[in-house]
Amino acid sequence: MESISKDAITDLTIIPDIDQNQVKVTAVTTSETLTASVYDHTNRLAEVTQENVDGKVELTIPLSDYELWSPENPKLYTLKLRANNDFVTSYFGMRKFEVGRDQKGIRRLMLNNKPYFHTGVLDQGYWSDGKLTPPSDQAMIDDITMLKDMGFNMIRKHIKIAPLRWYYHCDRLGMLVWQDMVNGGEEYNPLVTMVLPFLGLNLKDNFYKIFGRQNIEGRKEYILEAEKTVNLLKNSVSLAMWVPFNEGWGQFDSNEITNMIRHLDPTRTIDSTSGWHDQKSGDFVSKHIYFTPIYVPRDDRCYLLSEFGGFSKPSLGHMYSPTKMFGYRVYTTKRKLQKALTKLYTKSITKNIPKGLSAAVYTQLSDVEEEINGLITYDRKQIKVDPQLMRQLNSNVKNVLNK
């Protein structure tokens, strides 16, 4: 617990603006004035003082000769705030996320005004020795650094919120984050979440009954928790995308939900309905493809392959269950698994990028209990594929946009 003054800073929003070479800071406080200082290590780059207006202070801090943040250069700057006797220290990175057109007119994910391919993994955030809680700070670091060593530049945090330390490590190590919203709802109808999508049928998500969303209090709770999630993670440097709904789970009124999130945070992209039941809102066409050929559909929106792969290999002595095992395709040896991954990335990912594919999310980081389709085992003691192979495959993928 911390003792604070009555005019303490109770909320803080940091918005980098690389187009105007400035960072905008909004602090909620009753203090008459607020002073904000930006540091690069011990070197003070700028300092601004502003008076309070109606319970909050808005400052614009001009910057020059700064470095852009990216996974390749995760440069962070220190922000120090002073409101009378209250002091707050935070940090930020100068970066910009959006969807724009490349030189050929194809819509792409953009980082700092340039096309940038997101190659990442799905991460459900389960641990054999902590369930939903990482066993240590180092364990989170190890996952992120392993993925960077494999050449990935993005993690899709799947249907959970990680400890804030995890986002900090993504910020400082350089790993983009796609953040799923946590979804509730009643029991999901397999026709909605599995059968009809594989037949290519999209349902309107205002039919609450078939989506398990008849309970009005449950819908209100989702909206409240979505707002809290945005406010909790709004200053994360690495967080590039919000994902409100996944595969129809608890999905409802996604057009309205997307607009709500856009109003709360216009600085990030939104994958409105990841997988299926596309309502034509959000920034993307977002597909989960495991069994059918991967291709880029005709649509003017940016195209994401937001889940694919899911290749499995049993690892005796490192599995949650030796009898119950799930995977989309099963390979018995490391050599066969790596051969399949090489073919998948070469023929399905790399070749589709010139046609408009702008991101690819491999399923998944680690085995999760009965799911054995991770790049590493559930206990994190065995890496199933050679990191140098994945690094080469990811390098090939990234180089397509750089040519």
Q: Considering only CA atoms, which of 74, 67, 83, 78 is closest in space to residue 31?
A: 83
CATH number of 97-402, picked from 3.40.50.170, 3.20.20.80, 1.10.1660.10, 3.30.559.10: 3.20.20.80
- Tokens (6 digits) for 25: 């800071």
Asked whether 91 and 36 are in contact (CB, 8 A), the reply is: no
- Classify 11-92 by CATH class: mainly beta
Q: Which residues contact 246 (CB under 8 A, 6 or more apart)?
A: 158, 159, 180, 183, 274, 275
64-100 core/surface letters (b: 16 or more CB in 10 A; e: else): eebebbbbeebbbbbbbbbbbebebeebbbbbbbbbe
Q: Are 203 and 267 in contact (CB under 8 A)?
A: no
The amino acid present at 219, given as its one-letter code, is: R
Q: What is the pLDDT of residue 72?
A: 98
Domain ranges of the chain: 11-92, 97-402
Quick one: average pLDDT of 305-331? 92
* pLDDT band with cut points at 50, 70 and 90 for residue 325: confident
Residue 274 to residue 304: CA distance in whole angstroms = 9
- 184-198, 316-330, 346-360 — most confident range: 346-360
Per-residue model confidence (pLDDT) at position 367: 96
User: Tens of pLDDT along 345-403?
Assistant: 999 999 999 999 999 999 999 999 999 999 999 999 999 999 999 999 999 999 998 77
Q: Is the pLDDT of residue 179 over 80?
A: yes
Give the pLDDT confidence of 109-131 residue by residue, as tens digits: 999 999 999 999 999 999 998 88
- Mean pLDDT over 40-61 rounds to 94
Of 33-47, 141-155, 170-184, 309-323, minimum mean pLDDT range: 309-323
Would you mind telling me the total number of residues written for the chain in this entry? Answer: 403
Q: Strands (DSSP E) along 200-267, which ranges?
A: 239-243, 245-246
* Spatial contact of 291 and 358, defined as CB atoms under 8 Å apart: no
Surface-to-core class of residue 388, CB atoms within 10 Å of its CB (0-12 exposed, 13-18 middle, 19+ buried): exposed
